Chains A and B, each alone.
Chain A
């Protein structure tokens, strides 16, 4: 077995080397760091694949959003993995590697730190609400465009990691694994949006009263 730690493997398939409890500890740390950075830049990871900026909220809310997004996908893939995998596997491997697969969210939260990103998104939202002619700050728009592109790249990277986590943890490969993963991703996305929406509706409404 080739055990050379190739940089490309570490970037796109670190789960060849790390899984189980160690991956879970690092993954939970990832969610915590991404939530802390997210609270500084008001960047919400409010769904399995979602990244939105703008709405202020307490720190715990950012943390719970990250945990919900992680748990929804992990639990859906755990059920689907048990159905399609022909071998037995440990739940902690899937839970741990799925948490660690979210580590590109740290970079997404980091690139959202410049104030120009929030300024532009808030301006854009206000102008859409108000209607009429659009007045755009070109410098802010340029920063926003670059950040948007970076977030898309980080999200694609995260999805690739999530698939690798599913494939290695459940020992599933090929078309069946890809199809099941896409179905799981869609189910988990809807589930996470519903959970976070319900949480925001109750928790944030009660904290504002």
Chain B
């Protein structure tokens, strides 16, 4: 699967969705749509969040699933929370 670019390759600024396409009828929609915060995360972080939700938010279950220790999973989650908070504060500015 192609990786969704989230930052500008030229200036590192945050990218915005300008065009959307309907797979079925090929209708094109144009406008300015900000990327949702989760979409701005790396695909690895997104996969982690999906698995975390599927595990009902249980860190213990995630640790068993990923075959790593509890603090390793919790630190990973804390890192993602940090990224989301930084992204949020950048958006507010």
Contact = CB atoms under 8 A, between A and B. Distances in A.
Interface of A is mostly: loop
Contact of B71 (A1, A3, A169): A169
Contacts of A1: 44, 48, 66, 68, 76
Contact of A20 (B44, B48, B67, B69): B69
Nearest to B69: A19
B67 A93 contact: no
Interface residues of B, number: 13
Interface string B37-79: 0000000100010000000000000000011111110111010
A3 B47 CA distance: 14
A87 B78 contact: yes
A17 B69 contact: yes
Interface of A: 1, 3, 15-20, 23, 87, 89-90, 93, 168-169, 171
Contacts of A20: 69-71
A66 to B, nearest CB: 23
B85 to A, nearest CB: 11
A16 B72 contact: yes
A16 B68 CA distance: 6
Given A20-B70, A89-B74, 14 more contacts: A3-B67, A15-B69, A15-B72, A17-B68, A18-B69, A19-B70, A19-B72, A87-B74, A87-B78, A90-B70, A93-B69, A93-B70, A168-B72, A171-B74
Contacts of B48: 1
